[in-house]
């Protein structure tokens, strides 16, 4: 695999994840620690739908994407229902719980997921007879998914619907006082974000062609959250910037010709230092939130 | 308009509201007064559904019904009561501090464009609707004299201005009854007069107001009726002139002014 193409694909996928997570964390104010669950669920759903029998259903990539988006959205709904009455930190912990439950399911439901053995040989994505076999093909798909995600999230945040989401972040009780049911809004936001993360997962599965329960770790969740925070909560451009800065920095270390163990540790160190500096000097992230401005009317 | 019937509420053995009943007539200003801890805010929370009563009923003449038909709203969730035309402010200011003044008002209005499916299909008609809402919001902001601040973050307003914005927000849903929890607390005399005039103007426009307040001058000047609570019990319900001379009220709350 060519290095630079792989890097670009991963950047696109991370931007997709970060922007969709920003909808939940930045705009709606729900600290969704177990975000990567949706990514994992989507990847597994797509893999199991597209893999040939007896492991999978042997259906097309498109069906796989739809399945991954739906199943991930369903997981978003699942976590939404009981936990949305929980506030702040409690929601964060409950969402983390969902991640570990899901992980444990993936590891132990061997008849379905083959457990720790993972799912090898996932078919490459294909649409209308065209097989996306090269990295450029995959990159094209990743760019399209990223563009759609940015567009959808942008539209949501500029819409009256998104306005209510942000109001919920600011003061949930206040929103209720105006006759709006916050639970409904929060569940929709969670489902959208989950569906996007699910689709990103399906693309990842089709690209790498192998997934196992260890593909998706809690650290991934934290990384994406940090990228969102780094860039600025409630800012789409911020999320994109966060991913770019973080990826370029961590990938840049590779070229220092350091031993492998050092690279991993150094990455985490750079990341931590970056976060601490940011929280100290620019707590709102690199690009802060922009609010609506209405022109003066006389 | 609004009838509170024999409401009880206990917090672990402490009777916060103990059999309270009163009526609020349409197009009047009713004050709810009493010493700290008398159960005023608890009662407010129960009426608006933010808290559930142990027993008792809340009857409300809502917008959707004929004036003569009353509805028992005792078991309706908070946000549904708000939709019926019941609007409130909170004792501590509850704005959306990181949203602009204009956005604060827009969220407070009933807005069909908030439906999620309208996000992706943003039509010209919806844009027009949105523009109308902005204009309506601007009108309200002019009413409370905040239109110059519409693009500022609500959190950057002064305390008095935030109180005004709260009232404007409460008005945005065009409520039948406006419930204000200490609208005059902690504001300077100029702002106090402003809020006073605002409330009178609202009454002129046919609104009904129920409010909690400790500033007695403010209460006696404004209220058509005063309900006095003490230890969760209603001890008086009368016009201001009689309340001032009610022995029980003086003992429990007002005290004696020595001349």
Chain B residues lying within 8 Å of A178, measured CB to CB: 79, 82, 87, 107-110, 169, 172-173
Q: What is the pLDDT of residues B14-33, one digit of tens each?
A: 888 888 888 888 889 999 99
Mean pLDDT within A148-159: 92
CB contact under 8 A, A179 and B110: yes
Residues B180 and B257 in one domain: yes
CA A190 remoteness from chain centre: 11
Structural domain ending residue among the three candidates B123, B148, B174: B174
- Select from B143, B174, B205 the last residue of a domain: B174
Assigned domain for B31 exists: yes
Which residue on chain B is closest to A156 by alpha carbon?
B119
pLDDT of residue B63: 57
Q: Inform me whether the pLDDT recorded for A117 exceeds 90.
A: no
Phi-psi label, residue B26: left if phi above 0, alpha if psi -120 to 50, beta otherwise: beta
For residues B103 and B164, membership in a common domain is answered with: yes
CB-based contact, A295 to chain B, within 8 Å: no
Residues of A in contact with B94 (CB under 8 A): 171, 173-174, 177
CA distance, residue B174 to nearest chain A CA (Å) = 10
Give me the mean pLDDT over the B199-204 stretch: 90
* Ramachandran sector of residue A285 (left: φ over 0; alpha: ψ -120 to 50; beta: rest): left
Kindly determine whether residue A294 and residue B102, on different chains, have CB atoms separated by under 8 Å. Answer: yes
Which of A27, A77, A193, A294 would you mutate first to test chain B, the one with the most B CBs within 10 A? A294
The pair of structure tokens assigned to A74 is 């369903």
Residue A295 pLDDT > 70, yes or no?
no
Query: Residue B174: its pLDDT value, please?
Result: 84
- Asked if residue B225 is part of any domain, the answer here is yes
Q: What is the CATH number of the domain that holds B200?
A: 3.40.50.300
What's the rounded Cα separation, in Å, for the pair A145 and A139? 10
Identify the DSSP state of A211: B
Task: Specify the pLDDT at position A107.
Answer: 92
Residue B231, in any domain of the structure: yes
Are residues B143 and B248 both part of a single domain?
no
- Quote the minimal CA–CA distance from A139 to chain B in Å: 26
Residues B159 and B101 in one domain: yes
The confidence band for A18, taking pLDDT boundaries of 50, 70 and 90, is very high
Chain B residues touching residue A181 (CB < 8 angstroms): 77, 79
DSSP assigned state of A81:
H
**Residue-level pLDDT at A196:** 96
Residue B72: is its pLDDT beyond 90?
Answer: no
> Which residues does B31 contact at the CB level (< 8 Å), separation at least 6?
B210, B211, B212, B213, B219, B222, B223, B225, B226, B227
Looking at residue B8, the DSSP 8-state letter turns out to be E
Tokens of A87: 């506030």
Mean pLDDT of A89-116: 88
The mean pLDDT value of chain B amounts to 85
Does residue A167 sit at the B interface (CB-CB below 8 Å)? Answer: yes
B90 within domain boundaries: no
Question: Does residue B143 form part of some domain?
Answer: yes
User: Which residues from A are below 8 Å from B87, CB to CB?
Assistant: 177-178
Enter the pTM of the model: 0.86
Q: Say if the Cβ atoms of A159 and B122 lie within 8 Å.
A: yes
In this predicted structure, the answer to whether residue A298 has a pLDDT above a threshold of 50 is no
Residues in A touching B48 (Cβ below 8 Å): 177
* Neighbouring residues of A230: CB distance < 8 A, sequence distance ≥ 6: A242, A245, A246, A274, A275, A278, A285, A286
Q: Per the domain annotation, does B211 fall within a domain?
A: yes
Mean pLDDT of A53-80: 89
Question: Residue A297 pLDDT > 80, yes or no?
Answer: no
Angstroms from A267 CA to nearest CA on chain B: 34
Mean pLDDT value of segment B27-42 = 89
Q: Does the pLDDT value for residue B66 go beyond 70?
A: no
Q: How far is A163 from chain B (nearest CA, A)?
A: 7
Is the CB of A285 inside 8 Å of chain B's CB atoms? no
ipTM exceeding 0.90, yes/no: no
For chain A, the C-alpha Rg in angstroms (whole number) is 19
Q: Quick one: B5 and B62 in the same domain?
A: yes
Which of A159, A180, A293 shows the shortest C-beta gap to B151?
Answer: A293
* Residues in B touching A291 (Cβ below 8 Å): 98-100, 103, 153
User: Which among A14, A35, A102, A26 has a CA at the least distance from the CA of A288?
Assistant: A26
Q: How many Å apart are CA B123 and CA B129, to the nearest integer? A: 10
Same domain, B7 and B60: yes
In a shared domain, residues B182 and B81: yes
Inform me whether the C-beta atom of residue A171 falls under 8 Å from chain B C-beta atoms: yes
- Domain with B40, as residue range(s), is 1-85+175-259
Q: Which residues of A touch B119 (CB under 8 A)?
A: 152, 155-156, 159, 161-162
Q: Which residues of B touch A294 (CB under 8 A)?
A: 100, 102, 134, 138, 150-151
**Of A77, A79, A59, residue with least CA distance to A69:** A77
Mean pLDDT of the region A175-187: 89
How far apart are the CA of A298 and the nearest CA of chain B, in angstroms?
10
Q: Does B189 share its domain with B212? A: yes
CB pairs under 8 A between A and B: 111
Mean pLDDT score, B26-46: 89
Last residue of a domain, one of B137, B152, B174: B174
Instruction: Name the domain count of chain B.
Output: 2
Between the alpha carbon of residue A126 and those of residues A71, A72, A130, A131, A235, the distances in Å are: 20, 21, 5, 4, 33
Average pLDDT over residues A138-155: 94
Which helix (H) or strand (E) segment holds residue B180: the answer is: strand B177-181
pLDDT at B166 over 80: yes
Residue B147 has pLDDT above 60, yes or no: yes
Q: Are residues B180 and B165 part of one domain?
A: no
Nearest-CA residue of chain B relative to A155? B119
B127 in the same domain as B201: no
Number of neighbours of residue B148 by Cβ within 10 angstroms? 11
Query: What pLDDT was estimated at residue A76?
Result: 93
- Per-residue pLDDT averaged across A92-121, rounded? 88
Domain co-membership, B237 together with B116: no
pLDDT of residue A84: 67
Could you tell me what percent of chain B has a pLDDT over 90?
A: 19
* CA gap A53, A199 in Å, rounded: 22
Contact list in A for residue B97 (CB cut-off 8 A) is: 170
Mutate to test the interface with A, among B107, B166, B173 (most CBs of A within 10 A): B107
Percent of chain A with pLDDT over 70: 97
pLDDT of B254 above 50: yes
Closest residue to B94, CB basis, from A155, A160, A174: A174
Please give the residue that has the higher pLDDT: either A201 or B174: A201
Looking at the fold, whether B74 and B109 belong to one and the same domain comes out as no
The whole-number average pLDDT for the span A191-197 is 95
């Amino acid at each position: 695999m060519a290095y630079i193409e792989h890097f670009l694909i991963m950047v696109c996928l991370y931007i997709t994840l970060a922007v969709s997570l920003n909808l939940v964390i930045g705009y709606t104010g729900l600290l969704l620690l177990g975000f990567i669950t949706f990514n994992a669920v989507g990847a597994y759903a797509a893999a199991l739908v597209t893999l040939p029998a007896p492991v999978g259903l042997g259906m097309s990539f498109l069906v796989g994407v739809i399945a991954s988006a739906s199943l991930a959205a369903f997981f978003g709904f699942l976590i939404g229902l009981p936990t949305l009455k929980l506030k702040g930190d409690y929601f964060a912990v409950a969402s983390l719980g969902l991640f570990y439950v899901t992980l444990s399911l993936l590891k132990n439901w061997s008849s379905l997921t083959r457990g720790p053995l993972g799912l090898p040989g996932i078919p490459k994505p294909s649409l209308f007879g065209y097989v996306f076999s090269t990295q450029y093909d995959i990159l094209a798909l990743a760019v399209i998914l990223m563009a759609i995600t940015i567009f959808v999230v942008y539209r949501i945040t500029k819409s009256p619907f998104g306005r209510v989401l942000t109001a919920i972040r600011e003061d949930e009780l206040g929103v209720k006082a105006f006759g709006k049911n916050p639970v409904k809004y929060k569940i929709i936001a969670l489902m959208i974000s989950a569906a996007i993360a699910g689709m990103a997962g399906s693309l990842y599965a089709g690209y790498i062609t192998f997934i196992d329960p260890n593909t998706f770790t809690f650290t991934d969740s934290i990384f994406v959250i940090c990228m969102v925070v780094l860039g600025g909560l409630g800012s789409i451009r911020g999320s994109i910037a966060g991913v770019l800065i973080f990826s370029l920095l961590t990938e840049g270390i590779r070229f220092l010709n350091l031993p492998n163990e050092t690279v991993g540790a150094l990455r985490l160190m750079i990341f931590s230092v970056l976060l601490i500096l940011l929280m100290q000097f620019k707590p709102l992230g690199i690009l802060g939130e922009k609010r609506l401005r209405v022109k003066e009317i006389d | 308009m609004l009838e509170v019937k024999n409401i009880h509420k206990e917090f672990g053995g402490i009777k916060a509201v103990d059999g309270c009943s009163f009526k609020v007539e349409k197009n009047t200003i009713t004050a709810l007064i009493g010493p700290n801890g008398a159960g005023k805010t608890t009662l407010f929370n129960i009426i608006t559904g933010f808290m559930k009563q142990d027993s008792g009923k809340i009857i409300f003449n809502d917008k959707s019904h004929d004036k003569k038909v009353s509805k028992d709203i005792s078991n309706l969730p908070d946000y549904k009561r708000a939709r019926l035309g019941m609007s409130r402010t909170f004792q501590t200011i509850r704005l959306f501090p990181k949203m602009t003044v204009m956005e604060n008002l827009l969220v407070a209005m009933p807005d069909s464009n908030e439906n999620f499916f309208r996000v992706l299909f943003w039509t010209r008609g919806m844009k027009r609707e949105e523009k109308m809402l902005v204009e309506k919001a601007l009108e309200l902001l002019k009413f409370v004299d905040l239109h110059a601040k519409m693009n500022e973050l609500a959190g950057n307003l002064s305390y008095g201005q935030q109180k005004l914005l709260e009232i404007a927000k409460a008005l945005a849903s065009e409520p039948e009854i406006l419930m204000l929890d200490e609208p005059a607390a902690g504001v300077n005399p100029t702002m106090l007069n402003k809020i006073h005039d605002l409330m009178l103007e609202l009454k002129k426009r046919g609104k009904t107001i129920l409010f909690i307040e400790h500033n007695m001058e403010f209460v006696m000047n404004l209220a058509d009726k005063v309900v006095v609570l003490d230890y969760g019990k209603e001890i008086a319900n009368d016009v201001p002139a009689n309340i001032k001379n009610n022995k029980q009220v003086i003992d429990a709350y007002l005290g004696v002014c020595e001349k």
